[in-house]
Structure 1
Amino acid sequence: MTLPTVLPAPRAVLFDLDGTLADTAPDLAAAVNWLRTERGLPPTPYSVLRPTASAGARGMIGAAFGLAPGDDGYEELRMQWFDRYQETMAVHSSLFGGVTELLLGIEQAGMAWGIVTNKPARFTDPLLPQIGLSHAGCVVSGDTTGFAKPHPAPLLEGARRLGIDPAHCWYVGDDKRDIEAGHAAGMVTVACNWGYCGAIEPSTWGADYLLDTPTDLLQTLRTVVEAARMAERAA
């Protein structure tokens, strides 16, 4: 767990969804492997698919079929994957261990929390109540603002909906784009080692914090809040 020296005390924590709050990779991988099975191909190993889960269709189709946006056949696969995933998005998906306690601790500390994800609203909106996240203070999906991370617009929209200055928000994610978006929005950034993280080592992302578990994040929040209170009393 890496701790910087002094950072603003948070009034809100915004979270990425896939690979940060929720372990959705099993259902994302199952949907793309269904496409392979339909074509008479063997399933792609889950160990190959899981690290790409935060990249959504681009990551899944890239890992399973070796295709990228713009390649012949990519768009057809993407639309079929969307349809299949929508039918089966909450079969095996669940919150990461410690996330329920983390969110409760944030609420008990008087802080707000919300979700800012690149996942389209057609998936985000029905998924959240099925995995126990319907009580988020705000939900900003990948198509809410017309921009996706690493653009800061979705994060700024999340702060606006919570009514909290971005400088007093922390953003937590498991992808380098999350940290880039958080910095661009003027937020404190947290890279979560418990997520999917992709091919780029999280220690190189430049996050303000690199934490291993949701419990570490809750403890860090409490430590920073208490340090800020002590500084106010000493002033």
Structure 2
Amino acid sequence: MTPDTPAPAVLLDLDGTLADSPAGIAAAMNATLVANGERERTAAELRPFIGPPLHHTFGTLLDRPADDPGLDEVIAGYRARYAELMFGLTPVYAGIPEALDVLVAAGCTLAVATSKAQHLAVALVEGLGLAGRLSAVCGPVPPARDDKATTVGHALAALGGPSRAVMVGDRSHDVEGARAHGLPCVGVLWGAGDEAELVAAGAVSLCRAPADLPSAVLALL
């Protein structure tokens, strides 16, 4: 790469990709369900809802349309509860800091593109000690209801529109958000999604451990 060549970009999902988020998310979801007259769900029942946009999640869990205006208040309550819980219940996955260091050393620019509200995402990556490795952290700014494709677009814009970029994520909507911008997506198998989901969505490769992530990403840049 010459000095005038733009750095290749790596866009990273947060929950289930960088951060082991299910415990904190599930606790805040269950507290929100109870506050809205619903029963708590098991970890297995909530697992499919970790990662997708919250209006879809709570619309399904509360049996309401995703565009129900009343969901804004539900989600605001969820975010307030999650903000109190996330640091104690959300570790970084072992090996992720080292994998990001390899990508930075290889000349990549890194950014988070997440469905988590941006202020929570910024606080979490700072709390996990990852912020110094990232050039941008992008997520919906409430009350926006951005889908993943919109967030990926914001991340690409924040990085100056790189000519080469790869998305990394654990759910089908990460793959679909990347494809909306013509980007390949590496699917990771340590998060909430599984191999069948990621392959069906069109992930170009799968990664089974954080140590394997740099080689999988760099092969596509």
Tell me, yes or no, whether TM beats 0.5.
yes
1:212 to 196, 208, 219: 208
Quick check: 1:149 aligned with 2:147?
yes
**Which residue identity lines up with residue 200 of structure 2 in the other structure?**
T
Match of 2:138 in 1: 140
Q: For the structure 1 residues 83 and 104, does the alpha-carbon distance in structure 2 shift closer, same or farther, using more than 3 Å as the test?
A: same
Match of 1:57 in 2: 54
Kindly provide the CA deviation profile for residues 32-56 of structure 1, in whole angstroms up to 9, marking residues without a partner as x. 2223455786532112112311025
**Which residue identity lines up with residue 147 of structure 2 in the other structure?**
K
Q: CA deviation at 1:221?
A: 3.4
Q: Percent identity among equivalent residues?
A: 27
In the alignment, is the contact (CA less than 8 A) between 2:16 and 2:170 conserved in 1? yes
Q: For the structure 1 residues 16 and 108, does the alpha-carbon distance in structure 2 shift closer, same or farther, using more than 3 Å as the test?
A: same
Q: Unaligned 5+ residue runs, structure 1?
A: 1-9, 226-235
Quick check: 1:84 aligned with 2:77?
no
Q: For the structure 1 residues 199 and 50, does the alpha-carbon distance in structure 2 shift closer, same or farther, using more than 3 Å as the test?
A: farther
1:180 to 161, 176, 179: 176
Cα distance in 2 for partners of 1:159, 1:73 equals 32
**Which residue identity lines up with residue 40 of structure 2 in the other structure?**
P
Output the TM-score relative to the length of structure 2. 0.80
Q: CA deviation at 1:26?
A: 1.0
Secondary structure in structure 1 of the residue aligned to 2:123: helix
Kindly provide the CA deviation profile for residues 70-117 of structure 1, in whole angstroms up to 9, marking residues without a partner as x. 569645433322221122221210212221111011011121111111
Match of 2:11 in 1: 14
In the alignment, is the contact (CA less than 8 A) between 2:115 and 2:148 conserved in 1? no
Output the TM-score relative to the length of structure 1. 0.76
**Which residue identity lines up with residue 185 of structure 1 in the other structure?**
H
Q: CA deviation at 1:194?
A: 1.8
RMSD: 3.0
Which one has a bigger Cα radius of gyration? 1
Quick check: 1:48 aligned with 2:50?
no
Cα distance in 2 for partners of 1:58, 1:197 equals 19
Q: Which deviates the most, 58-67 or 73-82?
A: 58-67
Kindly provide the CA deviation profile for residues 13-70 of structure 1, in whole angstroms up to 9, marking residues without a partner as x. 1111111111212111101222345578653211211231102534653575444535
Secondary structure in structure 2 of the residue aligned to 1:171: strand
